[in-house]
Amino acid sequence: MRRLSAIFLFTICSATVHAQQSIQRPKLVVGIVLDQMRWDYLYRYYDRYAANGGFKRLMNQGFSCENTMIPYTPTYTACGHSTIYTGSVPALTGITGNNWWDREKMRSVYCTEDNSVSTVGSSSSAGKQSPSNMFTTTICDELRIATNYQAKVIGISIKDRGGILPAGHSANAAYWYDNNVGKWISSTYYMNELPAWVNSFNDQKLVDNYYKQGWNTLYPVSTYTQSTADEKTYENSLFGKQFPYDLSAYIGKDYGKISTTPMGNSLTAAFAKAAVTAEKLGADNITDFLAISFSSPDYIGHSFGPNSIEAEDGFLRIDKELGDLLNFLDSKVGKGQYTVFLSADHGVAPIPEYMTENKMPGGRIFMNEVTKELNKKLKEQFNIGNIVVYDDNYQVALNHPAIDSAKLDKKLITDIIVAHLSKEPGIGQVFPLDELNTVPLPATVRKMLNNGYYKKRSGDIQFLLKPNYIDAWSKTGTTHGLWNPYDTHIPLLWYGWGIKKGKTNRETYMTDIAPTIAALLHIQMPNGSIGQVITEVMK
């Protein structure tokens, strides 16, 4: 009898120990990417962020990696979203830009294009997209694998690439906004028809309601002392010259303009909340993943620049959206039951004319015009047109079939192009990419260029602009894309389940995000990951 009692007691104790030692995970992971946010925005507008808003809550109750850098170039949206979620770099993911020159197809390829699938949710071609061009898994894929595909994964963004690439190859769904019809859509890669909750959301026609409200500043315009004057000639006059902006003319006609207003963030947040509710994300003990990308900061920043009242107002408003989202997650999933990280896919350069009016260097180079002039010069010398076929991603791609067919001296052509580009006032350095590891370059810049290079999807000649020169398409606005800190120093905030309170000023990288989540969840890191776990963030 005594022996049986001992066995019974041992069994109970063993079960208790096993229960105590079972793997603990949050119910939901929420990845938030702010498309085009520099790290300094956390502090530039800090005093104006709401006490109950998102940024102060994440910063003061969570963990901030203050010195997080992007370890590659070009710093574009597709590269940033894929790197955050894969822990890898374009050289390994194959996502070398939003677009790239494909040497085998001899054409420009869009990062998520997929003609084998069809649009779900509208009659336009905006849904012919999938993650098939990305070579590696994401942390979302690894979570699906680790839970035998029981975890739910959903990606959401106004931009297709912002929803598709983070969610990965095995996601339950990715949704993006079709500005042709003003609806959230998907593709047959994920589903054959939209869920009823998506159709119900679309039927609300929220965009028309936002247009009726118009866009005025959240606070009196005179209080925006961190920004330039309301009317600047180097800003895009997309909606008029100054606040308030009347958007009523777009009702029922132009569903794309919403993206360049803070209401694009409101639309995204509302859709994300609807997804959590309808899909029951975080409702059981199997960890789910919601990947949200807010695209409007990028549209606003490109048009008006980072020193504009429009940009400041956008961040003051998204601060409130983030606060509301956290409150929603508290009530729907439970306080302390979910983990959040917030980062950005890239930063942005100040508008060049803003710099020059303040006695600092800066300027524009119009590479499309430079390329036309260059091709004209090459045709005169070699009697072949269109030798330069591509000039995006700060690279020049050559027409190899035409050059080979005519048996031209490729080195001579390359030397002519290098010499021509070197004369451009805004270009600091230019060199053939096959000489990348021999030309004199700072080690950091060389590493970033190597991390962004995948031969089949990269050009032949690299050019680097001088600081605060931009490759422009117009005489207003700004862009991003190179190695400079204004493009590569991004925020990284952690909050919620498993996260300590604090901060670190040591250098961390965009590639560290995915392996840190993997460590937190006790799952395998993505199969192309080269990042390191940020151990300081975890309890």
- Could you give the residue range(s) of every CATH 3.40.720.10 domain in the chain? 32-351+484-537
**E strand or H helix that includes residue 289:** strand 288-294
pLDDT of residue 2: 46
**Cis, peptide link before residue 131, omega less than 30° from 0:** no
- pLDDT (0 to 100) of residue 22: 83
Set 68, 75, 77, 488: catalytic member: 77
3-class secondary structure, 165: helix
Active site residue 75: no
Strands 288-294 and 99-102, by their bridges, are unpaired
List, run by run, the mean pLDDT of 10-residue segments along the chain (539 residues).
46 44 92 98 98 97 98 98 98 98 96 98 97 98 98 98 98 98 98 98 98 98 96 95 96 97 98 98 98 98 98 98 98 98 98 98 97 96 95 97 96 97 97 97 98 98 98 96 98 98 98 98 98 97
Q: Return phi, psi of residue 513, to 5°.
A: -65, -55
Distance CA 139, CA 510 (A): 13
CB 343 within 8 A of CB 247: no
Burial of 494 per CB tally in 10 Å (0-12, 13-18, 19+): buried
β-strand pairing of 28-34 with 288-294: parallel
Q: 363-466 domain in CATH 3.30.1360.150? A: yes
Residues of the chain with CATH 3.30.1360.150: 363-466
| Amino acid identity for residue 326 in this structure | L
Residue spans of alpha helices (H) in 75-179: 77-86, 90-93, 139-146, 160-167
Q: Tell me what pLDDT residue 155 has.
A: 98
Two structure tokens written together for 449: 């260029």
Q: Which fold has domain 32-351+484-537?
A: Alkaline Phosphatase, subunit A (3.40.720)
CB 215 within 8 A of CB 242: no
pLDDT of residue 21: 64
- Check residue 43 and report its DSSP letter: H
